[in-house]
Amino acid sequence: MTVRLTMVPSEGEAETICGLLRTNGIPCAYRAPELSAEAFGGMWREILVAEEDLESARELIEPEDEPRQL
């Protein structure tokens, strides 16, 4: 089963995030939201991953809480 990871405001951003996920071994797809596209300005995309990959995908796209120390 696929689940929504996040929504982004453009197809280009969706491609970038899916590229990052795929590079890290997480299959990814994106689509226009199921709700009316007009409700989201027409360009938004949902990024979808397998339910079992959701936590790993979140870790890849979410910023770390604290900056790394060198």
Q: Kind of pairing, strands 29-31 and 45-50?
A: antiparallel
**Contact between 17 and 28 (Cβ < 8 Å):** yes
In a domain, 66, yes or no: no
Range 28-42 burial, b when 16+ CB lie within 10 A, else e: bebeeeeeeeeeeee
* pLDDT tens-place string over residues 27-65: 999 999 876 555 556 689 999 999 999 999 999 998 776
Phi, psi of 4 (to 5 degrees): -80, 125
Domain span at residue 50 reads: 2-61
| Residue 13 pLDDT level (bands cut at 50, 70, 90) | very high
Asked, for residue 24, whether it belongs to a domain, the answer is yes
Which of 7, 2, 1 shows the shortest CA–CA distance to 47?
7
36 is a domain residue:
yes
CATH code, 20: 3.30.70.1530
pTM: 0.80
* 67 or 34, higher pLDDT: 34
For residue 55, being part of any structural domain is answered with yes
Question: What is the number of domains present in the chain?
Answer: 1
Q: In this structure, is residue 29 part of a structural domain?
A: yes
Mean pLDDT of 11-24: 97
Looking at the predicted structure, is the pLDDT value of residue 16 above 70?
yes
Q: Beta-carbon neighbour count of residue 46 at 10 Å?
A: 20
